A and B are shown apart, each in its own frame.
Chain A
Amino acid sequence: QKEVEQDPGPLSVPEGAIVSLNCTYSNSAFQYFMWYRQYSRKGPELLMYTYSSGNKEDGRFTAQVDKSSKYISLFIRDSQPSDSATYLCAIEAGKLTFGQGTILTVHP
């Protein structure tokens, strides 16, 4: 079993839709939870960073962590074509472990 599981998609939505991206993890020792956005042939860009259960909102992005279920989510409201990218969840307990990444396409 992988430490972090993420549905690779691809996911295609129309502009304005709400996008839900999810990851599950197996190690309850994980302490920090992050979402990165990666454009093609670029390094990942940190979007959200949280360490506790609950919701954290930043503009159109909401990160949700449920430690009891070992489940994290990223919601994107009012999605835009510029949101088209690969989204990676990352979880840390000493070192960073990435999910496989979900390829998202938002079409006009």
Chain B
Amino acid sequence: GAVVSQHPSWVICKSGTSVKIECRSLDFQATTMFWYRQFPKQSLMLMATSNEGSKATYEQGVEKDKFLINHASLTLSTLTVTSAHPEDSSFYICSARGVLRLNEKLFFGSGTQLSVL
């Protein structure tokens, strides 16, 4: 099946620093990638939709200047959390849409646990 690789799996950083998370589709081209945020025992909340070669579309309430998304190629999207604060601590998950047969399915990365001290 399709594989999405997300790196790093966990990161601890100091308040005020920036953290970059990478999401790669390993065996298919992903024109669209999605970034989610998940708090403990809560569901996935869509943060933004990333389209290759264009600006990301952010969901209401998500600060685009704080969560920078770059989708420079058909296999790589990055999320940079700028000037991180403790309230940004969360589980971040990416997903990529591939075209399989006549349906498009979403495959998820393994997630990144961010802890901001």
Whose C-beta in chain A lies nearest to the C-beta of B110?
Answer: A43
Question: Total interface residues on A, using CB and 8 Å?
Answer: 22
Question: Is B108 in contact with A99, judged by CB distance below 8 angstroms?
Answer: no
Tell me the complex Cα distance, A44–B106, Å.
Answer: 10
Nearest-CB residue, chain B, relative to A10: B41
Contact with A along B84-117 (1 / 0, CB 8 A): 0000000101010000000101111111010000
A/B pair count, beta carbons within 8 Å: 48
Q: Are B6 and A43 in contact (CB under 8 A)?
A: yes
Interface string of A31-68 (1 = CB under 8 A from B): 01010100001111110010100000000000000000
Interface string of A78-108 (1 = CB under 8 A from B): 0000000000100000011111110100000
Q: How far is the CA of A108 from the CA of B107 in the complex (A)?
A: 31
Please state if B41 and A103 are interface contacts (CB–CB under 8 Å).
yes
B35 within 8 A of A: no
**Cross-chain contact A96 with B111 (CB below 8 angstroms):** no
Contact of B43 among A45, A49, A99 (CB under 8 A): A99
Partner of B108, one of A8, A44, A97, A103: A44
Q: How far, in angstroms, from A100 to B61 measured CA to CA in the complex? A: 19
Take A41-B111, A46-B107, A49-B105 as given contacts and tell me if A88 and B44 are in contact as well, using a CB distance cutoff of 8 Å: yes
Bitwise interface map of B from 37 to 59 toward A, beta carbon under 8 Å scored 1, else 0: 00001111010010000000000
Task: Write the residues of chain B forming the contact surface with A, with a CB cutoff of 8 angstroms.
Answer: 4, 6, 34, 41-44, 46, 49, 91, 93, 95, 103, 105-111, 113
